[in-house]
Amino acid sequence: MSVVCQLSPGWLLDHLSFINKINYQVHQHHEPCCSKSEPTSSVYRDSLHMDSVSSFGSSTTFTASDSTIKLANDDGGNCELCIQKYVFRSELFDVTIPYITSAIHKECQQSNEKEDLMNGLKKEISISTVGKKRKRCVAFNQGEVDAMEYHTKIRELILDGSSQLIQEGFKSGFLHPLSEKGDKCREPLTLPLDTCNLSELCEMAKHLPSLNETELLTLQLMGEDVSVTGQDLFSRVVENNSSFTKMITVMGQRYLLPPKSSFLLSDISCMYPLLNCGKTYDVIVIDPPWQNKSVKRSKRYSYLSPLQIKQIPIPKLAAPDCLVITWVTNRQKHLRFVKEELYPSWSVELVAEWHWVKVTSSGEFVFPLDSPHKKPYEVLVLGRVREKAALPLRNADVKVLPIPDHKLIVSVPCTLHSHKPPLAG
């Protein structure tokens, strides 16, 4: 997990370091007649940029350069191997100040109190002048009460554990105190307009004809720079079995597929290509698009109902004793659903509940800990598949490690929407 430090409360992670440890190298062969003064490839990425000197000019957001190795052909001639290395844009983790500072939060509270006071005064005047009007009592709904109770229960765990990990982060140099001059006045990062349109591609998949059972369900990427149509990717498991990154071009945008990896770009109702591959998995991480007011307002993506989430075929994809990890919002209705309905329906036994705590590079919570609106933490619910079988599920030599409960993952979040920290080693 690119662990900066590990203590009894949990881990402090370097998310950016984890991404850049992946071998994002694209290999391209070129004839020696290619001009060295010209870039061999013009690549524009939302969150990845080329490592080293810029070859696209100052107007572009990304920097690029090629390193070249001369190789001998089978026919005795020469060719050049161009190696392009990509690294994630560090600016996307440049979170130096909280999204909402405690001072602003306090001002908002004071403003709300003043507004309530004025409203109360107006109500009192109204009551005194019109005898029939009654003063309305302000009460929290059940969801708000549940959220406050849950926060009260875990507050000390979050505060004490995070403080210990943050202090270690300062000692290691990973976190650093806020600079009074530079950091507070720094302008926020503006993301490019040509952002990733995978959500649009998934929406298109719903309107395309389904593949027949006899059609190719797996697409292996061969060659170097692979150009495929959106329809070629839909409802197929796309694999990169090589030791190098593959670049694929879809609808004019380029995507990097890491070595030894695969993906299925599909609507959740079309999972049979993945099921028909015959593979099962020891770890499954799920980040469902939960329904909430923010999603409804922004219309950024479609959400799934609890019934639709239940229909994800986890039992068919999970290996014996598979570890299932589900990201859950702070809405208690969703947390109860995972624990009491979703996991039992998948024969998954609840084993632990962890929290991801989001901090700035100066060690502050990204939101005030006691903010009634947004919290600086998210929940992970961990469980293991427990099949009702009399026979041992695994080889006796394979030990299933116990999962500790109430652990924290503390990290500086990525500014990209809903970008979660790594859980792999």
Are residues 79 and 32 in contact, defined by beta-carbon separation less than 8 angstroms?
A: yes
Write out residues in the chain with pLDDT < 70, as ranges. 1, 28-79, 101-138, 180-199, 202-203, 205-216, 223-231, 294-301, 388-398, 425
Positive or negative torsion for Cα 334, 340, 343, 344 = negative
Name the nearest CA neighbour of 407 among 385, 384, 388, 379: 379
Q: Report DSSP letters for 216-263, one per residue.
A: --EEE--SSEEE--HHHHBTSEEEE-SSS-EEEEETTEEEEE-TTEEE
Note the pLDDT of residue 148: 93
Q: Are 48 and 87 in contact (CB under 8 A)?
A: yes
Q: What is the pLDDT of residue 58?
A: 32
0.85 exceeded by the pTM? no
**Tokens representing 158?**
């979050």
pLDDT for 270 equals 79
End-to-end CA distance of the chain: 4
Between vectors from CA 228 to CA 222 and to CA 231, what angle results, nearest 5°?
125
Instruction: Determine contact, residues 234/215, Cβ cutoff 8 Å.
Output: no
Specify whether the CB–CB gap between 318 and 324 falls below 8 A.
yes
Closest CA to 304 of 326, 325, 287, 289: 289
DSSP 165-186: HHHHHHHHTSS-PPPTTTTTTP
List Cα–Cα distances, 148 to 5, 143, 340, in angstroms: 31, 9, 20
By CB atoms closer than 10 A (0-12, 13-18, 19+), residue 49 is buried
Nearest of 183, 196, 166 to residue 48 by alpha carbon: 196
Under a CB-based contact definition with an 8 Å cutoff, are residues 189 and 416 in contact?
no
* The token pair that represents 157 in the structure block: 């765990």
What pLDDT is stored for residue 40 in this prediction?
36
